[in-house]
A and B are shown apart, each in its own frame.
Chain A
Amino acid sequence: MIELKQVSIRSGSFALNNVSFRIEAGQYAVLMGKTGMGKTTILEAICGLRKVASGLICIQATDVTRWSPRDRQIGYVPQDLALFPTLNVREHFEFALRLRHASKVEINRRTDELSEVLGVGHLLNRRIQGLSGGEAQRVALGRALAARPTVLLLDEPLSALDQATRNEMHEWLLKVKQATGVTTLHVTHNIEEAEALADRRLVLDGGRLLEQS
């Protein structure tokens, strides 16, 4: 569950004021809005990568507003994916688990699970530089899901893909949604994407958040 209570964020001349919403556990919410409205800013605030001026951010009913990103149990896929250039696909999946000192058996089991769900088993030993757009998206998704986060945040994950790959990724995201049931907040400005994936649609307009049925 993700809940924002009267959250205000200021960054230079940009400001978001008193944003509030609640996404129930297991829901797949899509946040829409024009470019520059602050959608990414909201995701970064939930991650802990951006300071909030006031208000509360709760995850699983716990106030995490002052917590560091590492303690929030969040899976985050940024718009540019930010894959780690020095690691291969397998190492991306293992990264979060190694930080948690998971056993070798657990790491291998989780890597196998994820590579099956995301269809990247044949890519595990590949370097990320040679991956296609869709493959890179799935690796970023796998990296974010590896440590079983309570919340998954996706920042326009399909914006850089062509239509065919985008449709393919819709299927993968639906598969992930069914397989993990993780609470997800997906930022996009694409209505088709929202219709294909969302349990719930939120629209950010002029700093105000509106519910769209």
Chain B
Amino acid sequence: MEPPVRTTELKQRRHADFPFFLIMGGLSATFVLLIVLLLTADLLFTSVSDFKAALLRPEIQAAFRLTLLSCTVAALMSLWVATPLGYLLSRYRFPGRWLVDTLVDIPIVLPPLVLGLSLLILFHLKIGSWELETFLRDSLGFPVTYCWPAVVLAQFSVACAFAVRTMRVTFDQINPRCEDVARTLGCSRAQAFLQIALPQAWRGMLTATTLAWARSLGEFGPIMVFAGSTQMRTEVLSTSVFLELTVGQLDSAVAVSLLMVVMAVIVLLVLRAFGARLQA
């Protein structure tokens, strides 16, 4: 029989974990504190009247509306593409899979400005006498470059890569044997995907959409190059901050930045609440 543990030893054991929590908590707090300090500095720099004045300006309101719309469209487009692509990359070994896998990551590692430049070149590259932008503008009446669709496309190009990664990890974590069993029960591959895999992937889909939306909100470089930043037309909040800074309107720049923070927090909270409701 083991001797009873003495009270002093028990106390020592209880305190033995203290350094662990101190180090882990201390390191974690560094980053959280940095974010809190950044936001506090922004809040202290601006005043409610400056904030109101900035938000009442029509061009900022137009930028706010375009930001909401373009981020939402880009996020939904990303989800639409990322779900099948993530599933294919997760489940199948097909020729050239490694190449597709690498290509999907390119927008993540590429400097955003380069991506914008590449989009610009793609739309204005002449193949003989044919040019994509001219074709879209003249034949379909749908100009892209330096118009709002360019904003969405620039945001989508980056956001989608993050959404694909998220969806791939999501499907990697779902047991593929469930789909195998479903197929023996009478499902086609499409039915197994739609009825078995997809309902299990909703949490990943929510995360992918949130990530794509947040990524789109912060996108700046490709939008500047590919869509420009024309007030009331292609200006979004991220480019507004830059424009306000360049003309020395620091108060407005901070006010718009704070607005973006509020938007991001609201979207994250709404999506989390929605996720919690679905889970319940």
Asked if B270 is at the interface of the complex by the 8 Å CB criterion, the answer is no
Which chain B residues border A49 with CB–CB below 8 Å?
A: 180, 183-184
Does B196 sit at the interface, judged by CB under 8 A?
A: yes
The answer to the question of B191 belonging to the interface, with a C-beta cut-off of 8 Å to chain A, is: yes
Interface residues of B in 135-189 (CB under 8 A from A): 175, 177-178, 180-188
A80 and B196 alpha carbons, distance in the complex (Å): 16
- Give B171 Cβ to nearest chain A Cβ, in Å: 14
- Distance in Å: Cβ of A128 to nearest Cβ of chain B: 11
Beyond the given pairs A70-B188, A76-B184, 8 more chain A to chain B contacts, judged by CB atoms under 8 angstroms and listed by A's residue number, are A48-B183, A49-B180, A72-B184, A75-B184, A76-B180, A76-B181, A80-B177, A99-B186
Residues on A facing B (Cβ under 8 Å): 44, 47-49, 68-70, 72, 74-76, 78, 80, 82-86, 95-96, 99-100, 143-144, 146-147
Q: What is the distance, in angstroms, from B120's C-beta to the closest C-beta of chain A?
A: 44
Judging by beta carbons under 8 Å apart, are A84 and B180 in contact?
no
Known contacts: A78-B177, A80-B177. The answer to whether A48 contacts B184 by CB under 8 A is yes
Q: How far is the CA of A96 from the CA of B180 in the complex (A)?
A: 13
Which residue of the partner chain, among A44, A48, A78, A96, contacts B185 with CB atoms under 8 Å? Answer: A96
User: How far is the CB of B75 from the nearest CB of chain A, in Å?
Assistant: 24
Q: Does B200 contact A (CB under 8 A)?
A: yes
Question: B180: which A residues are within 8 A, CB to CB?
Answer: 44, 47, 49, 69, 76, 78, 82
Number of inter-chain CB pairs below 8 Å: 60
B191 touches A47 (CB 8 A): no
A-facing mask of B242-263, CB < 8 A → 1, else 0? 0000000000000000000000
Which of B177, B187, B196, B200 touches A70 (beta carbons < 8 Å)?
A: B187
Q: Which 3 A-B pairs have CB atoms at the shortest separation, nearest pair first? A: A99-B186, A82-B177, A96-B185
Given A86-B199, A86-B200, check contact A100 B181 (CB 8 Å): no
Q: Report the minimum CB–CB distance from B205 to chain A (whole Å).
A: 13
| Cβ distance B126 to chain A, nearest Cβ, rounded Å | 48
A148 to B200, CA, bound (A): 27
Decide yes or no: A70 and B186 within 8 Å by CB, A84-B196, A99-B191 being known contacts: yes
Q: Which of B180, B187, B188 has the most CB of A within 10 A?
A: B180
Contacts of B184 in A (CB 8 A): 47-49, 69-70, 72, 74-76, 144
Q: A70 contacts B181, CB within 8 Å?
A: no
> Cβ of B186 and Cβ of A84 under 8 Å apart?
no
Question: Judging by beta carbons under 8 Å apart, are B178 and A84 in contact?
Answer: yes
| Contact between B186 and A82, CB atoms less than 8 A apart | no
Q: How far in angstroms is the closest Cβ of chain B from A173?
A: 18
Contacts of A84 on B, CB cut-off 8 Å? 178, 182, 196
Across the interface, which residues of B come within 8 angstroms of A78, CB to CB? 177, 180-181
How distant is the Cα of A14 from the Cα of B140 in the complex, in angstroms? 56
Q: Nearest chain B CB to A9's CB is how many angstroms away?
A: 16
Q: Which residue of A lies closest to B198 (CB)?
A: A86
24 interchain pairs, CB-CB under 8 A? A47-B180, A49-B183, A68-B183, A68-B188, A69-B180, A69-B183, A69-B184, A70-B184, A72-B184, A78-B177, A80-B177, A82-B178, A82-B181, A83-B178, A84-B178, A84-B182, A84-B196, A85-B178, A86-B199, A96-B186, A99-B185, A143-B181, A143-B185, A147-B186
Contacts of B181 in A (CB 8 A): 76, 78, 82, 143
A92 closest partner in B (C-beta): B185
Interface contact A100-B175, CB-CB below 8 Å: no
**A83 CB contacts on chain B under 8 angstroms:** 178
Indicate if the CB atoms of B177 and A147 lie closer than 8 Å.
no
Given A47-B180, A82-B177, A82-B178, A147 and B200 touching (CB < 8 A)? no
Query: For B199, what are the chain A residues with a Cβ–Cβ distance below 8 Å?
Result: 86
Q: Pick the contact of A82: B175, B187, B188, B191 (CB < 8 A).
A: B175
CA of A69 to CA of B196, assembled, Å: 16
Residues of B within 8 A of A70 (CB): 183-188
Q: Report the minimal beta-carbon distance from A71 to chain B, rounded to whole angstroms.
A: 9
